[in-house]
Amino acid sequence: MSQIIEYSDKVMEHFSNPRNVGEIENASGVGTVGNAKCGDIMRIYLDVDENGIIKDCKFKTFGCGAAVATSSMATEMIKGKSVEEALKLTNKAVQEALGGLPAVKVHCSLLAEEAVHAALWDYAQKNHLEIEGLKPPVDDIDETKEFYEMSGEQ
């Protein structure tokens, strides 16, 4: 029925001790990406100061070991960076920082990149900023309604 995929030590370390888990109240920007259908949803919160520096960054993730580890690594990589620098974060860089990902898990790193972009987009929208190269996120979270309908059962 299942087998646990081989993860690098770094992935396991980030999965076991994820950095920056949580929420930020009144965040400067929040981005949620992914699809419950496929089993991965990532949400990233940003606290950006008046100089455009990401002072704090938190995440919440529904997903596999790689999804948690890539979220953790991505938040660590953008913390303290400027908005422009954060925008340059690529899934490849996240993967490399984690010592690689199994081929079937590469999409998780892509999701981390998208989550950062979605949070930055939200920040830009809220502050009426134009950030070069920033595109609106695609929201494809679905089936969450059924989730709530099922709750309360047993």
Partner 1 sequence: MSKLIYLDNAATTKVKDEVFEAMKPYFSELYGNPSSIYRFAGEGKKAIEEARRTVAEFIGAKPEEIYFTGGGSESDNWALKATAFAKRDKGKHIITSKIEHHAILHTCEYLEKLGYEITYVNVDENGVLKLDELKAAIREDTILISVMFANNEIGTIEPIKEIGEIAHEHGILFHTDAVQAYGHEHINVDDYNIDLLSASGHKINGPKGIGILYIRNSVKIGSFVHGGAQERGRRAGTHNTPGIIGFAKATEVAKREMDTRHSYESELRDYLIGRVLAEIPYTKLNGHKTDRLSNNANFSFQFIEGESLLIMLDQKEICASSGSACTSGSLDPSHVLLAIGLPHEIAHGSLRLTLSDETTKEDIDYVVDELKKIVERLRSMSPLYEDFVKKGGK
Total interface residues for partner 1 by CB under 8 A: 41
Query: What does the alpha-carbon distance between residue 55 and residue 105 come to, in Å, rounded to a whole number?
Result: 29
> For residues 58 and 23, is the Cβ–Cβ distance under 8 A?
yes
**Residue 57 main-chain phi, psi, to 5 deg:** -155, 130
Whether residue 38 lies in the annotated active site: yes
| Nearest Cα to Cα of residue 83 among 112, 49, 107, 110 | 49
Catalytic residue among 64, 108, 115, 116: 108
Chain residues 6-25 in contact with partner 1, contact rule CB under 8 A = 12, 15-16, 18, 21, 23
Assigned token pair, 48: 């950006």
138 binds partner 1 (CB under 8 A): no
Is residue 38 within the footprint of partner 1 (CB under 8 A)? Answer: yes
94 binds partner 1 (CB under 8 A): no
Question: Binding of partner 1 at residue 146 (CB under 8 A)?
Answer: yes
Residue 36 binding partner 1, by CB under 8 A: yes
For residues 42-81, which are near partner 1 according to CB under 8 A? 42-43, 60-68
DSSP element (H, E) containing 76:
helix 65-78
The set of catalytic residues is 38, 108
